[in-house]
Amino acid sequence: MSEVNPLPASRVRLAAVLRATRDVVSIEATAKTLALDNTGAAKLLSRWRKQGWLRRIGRGLYVPVPLDLAGSEQVVEDPWVLVPALFGECYIGGWTAAHHWDLTEQLFNETVVFTTRRVGAKRASAQGVTFLLHHIGKQRQFGLKSIWRGSKRVNVSDPARTMIDMLAMPDTGGGIDHVADCLAAHAKSTAFDGSLLIRYAEQFGNGAVFKRLGFLAETHLHNRDLAEGCATRLTQGYTQLDPARPSRHLHTTWRLWVPERWLKAAP
């Protein structure tokens, strides 16, 4: 009876690394798993990449290549698992988080990521996925939920924090029309808490949030308590309801430049 040939030593080592790291393989994790120094681990990962077992997604970062996807650009099923390794201290937010929390059914091609790292380019691509990046200060790392995606723990903004980010930066929510729809969906959900929105807005520290939130609370939600809470916290100066669509129509109560069609809905 013939003996079954054992796996080559290199494949055994690769299997050990993949068991330890699952989704994203780093030099440091490889070195720890195989008791190597970082230089030796880096050379080994480079060799496995050349052999087609791994694909490089960033500096010192790799993902395993399943046999049935060896000729494909898309390797990982869930792009969220790449986020912690690629962008450090960060979280999923904007329209991506809004979809996660069922605030919208609209799908966007880009995954929105807020990171404390300084970003040179607003977009980064890995494994066929485009990430829309926004720098955010460490003091604004609040209102986050830690969830498991595969073997990776990923931070995502909770529903209220998702709304605050999109009100501060409507472009991360697909524009003010979509942000308003998400806010209306949030207002109908069991997670809605107007006082939490106010507290998050205060902690975020951007006066434009209260102006946009108050205006939408009054005209879109017809939520008097939330509107009054925003009105008592208005800052000086004027801002655009949607910076992507500048308007010359001023709503003096909310100190907002508002497109004409929005003015028609205002009292």
Distance CA 74, CA 88 (A): 22
Residue 76's pLDDT is: 57
Structural domains in the chain plus CATH codes: 9-69 (1.10.10.10), 79-234 (3.30.460)
- Which residue matches tokens 């990982």? 76
62 three-class SS? strand
Q: Which of 73-77, 151-155, 253-257 has maximum average pLDDT?
A: 253-257
Closest CA to 212 of 163, 157, 143: 163
Q: What is the mean pLDDT of residues 38-42?
A: 86
Give yes or no for residue 218 having a pLDDT over 50. Answer: yes
What digits encode the pLDDT tens for the residues 109-128?
Answer: 899 999 998 887 788 887 77
Q: Environment class of residue 137 by beta-carbon count within 10 Å: exposed (0-12), middle (13-18) or buried (19+)?
A: exposed
Average pLDDT, the chain: 86
**Confidence class for position 266, pLDDT limits 50, 70, 90:** low
Residue 112's pLDDT is: 96
Higher pLDDT, 173 or 78: 173
